[in-house]
C-alpha cells in the first residue's frame, strides 16, 4: 500500500493537496512503482495535528480519488474517520476504507456498511492531539487485540462481513517504543485471528529510536522503514503501508528470491 498524503501539513510529503493533479500524478507514480493499492489521506494524524473540517477533507480527497479512478484500475483506499467522506469516496470510485479510529466516530459504522467495501480497523489510544503524551497499557498486545476484536464484533453485528475486515495495531498511535516493539514482535498473535493484518511502520519515529536516537528527518528513514517492512511481512502482515514503494517492492522481491532458492 503506497501512501498518498493530500494534507498541507503531512510530516514527510506535505503540500500536494494544493493541486489535485500533482497528487494524482504522485498516486500513479506509486502504482507504477509496484503498489497494489494507494491510500489517499486528507486528515493529518500527526501527533498534535488539528482535524480539518469535513468540507475541507472532502475537497482534498474526492478530486484525487476521481482522478486516480479515471486513470488506473489499481485499488484505491481512503484514510478517513468521517462518515461523509467514506460515502463520497466510495461513490467516487474508492475500493476500500482505512480508519485510524476503527469506525468509532458517530455514523461511521453505518456509513461503512452503506459503502459496502472492505475496511481496515486500526487501534489508537487517545486522540492524535494527545496520544503520545503518556501511553499506558498493562498488556499492550492483549489490549490492542481485544479492542480490535470488539470492533470486529460490532462491525459484523452492523452488517460488515468479517471477510471484508483488515486489522492494524496502529504503530505509533498512543504507543511508546516498548509498546511498538511488543506489537511487532508478537504480530503473529493478531495474524492468528485469521483476519488479514496491515502494518504501518514507514518513516515512523521508532526507526529513529532504534537507530540510535540521532535526530533525523522522516525522509532519512528509508533503511529502517525497509527493515521494519520485512519484519512485519515475516511476522505475517498481508499489507504494508509505505512511502517508498519501489524500494519496498525490491526488498520483498529480493527476500522472496532468496527464500525460494535456499
Chain residues in the site for ligand 7PM (CB under 6 A): 3, 10-11, 44-46, 79, 98, 100, 120, 122, 168, 170-171, 198, 200, 204, 241
Between 44 and 145, CB nearer to ligand 7PM: 44
Between 71 and 130, CB nearer to ligand 7PM: 130
CB-based contacts of 53: which residues, under 8 Å, 6+ apart? none
Please name the residue that has the C-alpha cell 502482515: 237
Q: Assess whether 204 carries a catalytic annotation.
A: yes
As measured in angstroms, the least distance from the Cβ of 81 to ligand 7PM is 10
CB-based burial label for 128 (10 Å; 0-12, 13-18, 19+): buried
Please name the residue that has the C-alpha cell 461511521: 108
As measured in angstroms, the least distance from the Cβ of 259 to ligand 7PM is 26
As measured in angstroms, the least distance from the Cβ of 135 to ligand 7PM is 14
As measured in angstroms, the least distance from the Cβ of 6 to ligand 7PM is 12
Between 135 and 261, CB nearer to ligand 7PM: 135
Q: Assess whether 241 carries a catalytic annotation.
A: yes
Catalytic position from the list 60, 186, 203, 204: 204
What's the grid cell of residue 40? 489517499
User: Secondary structure of the chain in the HEC alphabet?
Assistant: CEEEECCCCCCCCCCHHHCHHHHHHHHHHHHHCCCCEEEEECCCCCCCCCCCCHHHHHHHHHHHHHHHHHHCCCEEEEECCCHHHHHHHHHCCCCEEEECCCCCCCCHHHHHHHHCCCEEEECCCCCCCCCCCCCCCCCHHHHHHHHHHHHHHHHHHHCCCHHHEEEECCCCCCCCHHHHHHHHHCHHHHHCCCCCEEEECCCCHHHHHHCCCCCCCHHHCHHHHHHHHHHHHHCCCCEEEECCHHHHHHHHHHHHHHHHCC
Between 92 and 243, CB nearer to ligand 7PM: 243
Between 85 and 257, CB nearer to ligand 7PM: 85
As measured in angstroms, the least distance from the Cβ of 227 to ligand 7PM is 16
As measured in angstroms, the least distance from the Cβ of 250 to ligand 7PM is 21
Between 24 and 45, CB nearer to ligand 7PM: 45
Q: Which residues have a catalytic role annotated?
A: 204, 241
Amino acid at each position: 500500500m503506497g501512501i498518498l498524503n493530500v494534507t498541507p501539513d503531512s510530516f514527510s510529503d506535505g503540500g500536494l493537496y494544493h493541486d489535485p493533479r500533482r497528487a494524482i500524478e504522485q498516486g500513479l507514480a506509486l502504482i507504477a512503482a509496484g503498489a497494489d493499492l494507494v491510500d489517499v489521506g486528507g486528515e493529518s494524524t500527526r501527533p498534535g495535528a488539528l482535524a480539518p473540517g469535513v468540507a475541507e477533507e472532502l475537497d482534498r480527497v474526492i478530486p484525487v480519488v476521481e482522478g486516480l479512478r479515471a486513470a488506473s484500475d489499481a485499488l484505491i483506499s481512503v484514510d478517513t474517520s468521517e462518515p461523509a467522506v467514506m460515502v463520497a469516496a466510495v461513490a467516487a470510485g474508492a475500493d476500500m476504507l482505512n480508519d485510524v479510529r476503527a469506525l468509532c466516530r458517530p455514523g461511521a459504522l453505518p456509513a461503512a456498511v452503506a459503502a459496502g467495501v472492505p475496511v481496515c480497523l486500526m487501534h489508537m489510544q487517545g486522540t492524535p492531539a494527545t496520544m503520545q503524551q503518556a501511553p499506558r497499557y498493562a498488556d499492550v498486545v492483549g489490549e490492542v487485540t481485544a479492542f480490535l476484536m470488539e470492533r470486529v464484533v460490532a462491525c459484523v453485528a452492523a452488517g460488515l462481513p468479517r471477510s471484508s475486515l483488515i486489522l492494524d495495531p496502529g504503530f505509533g498511535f498512543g504507543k511508546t517504543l516498548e509498546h511498538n516493539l511488543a506489537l511487532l514482535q508478537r504480530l503473529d498473535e493478531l495474524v492468528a485471528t485469521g483476519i488479514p493484518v496491515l502494518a504501518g511502520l514507514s518513516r515512523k519515529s521508532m526507526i529513529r529510536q532504534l537507530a540510535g536516537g540521532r535526530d533525523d528527518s522522516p525522509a532519512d528513514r528509508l533503511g529502517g522503514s525497509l527493515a521494519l517492512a520485512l519484519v512485519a511481512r515475516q511476522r505475517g502482515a498481508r499489507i504494508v503501508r509505505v512511502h517508498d514503494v519501489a524500494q519496498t517492492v525490491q526488498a520483498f522481491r529480493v527476500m522472496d528470491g532468496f527464500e525460494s532458492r535456499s
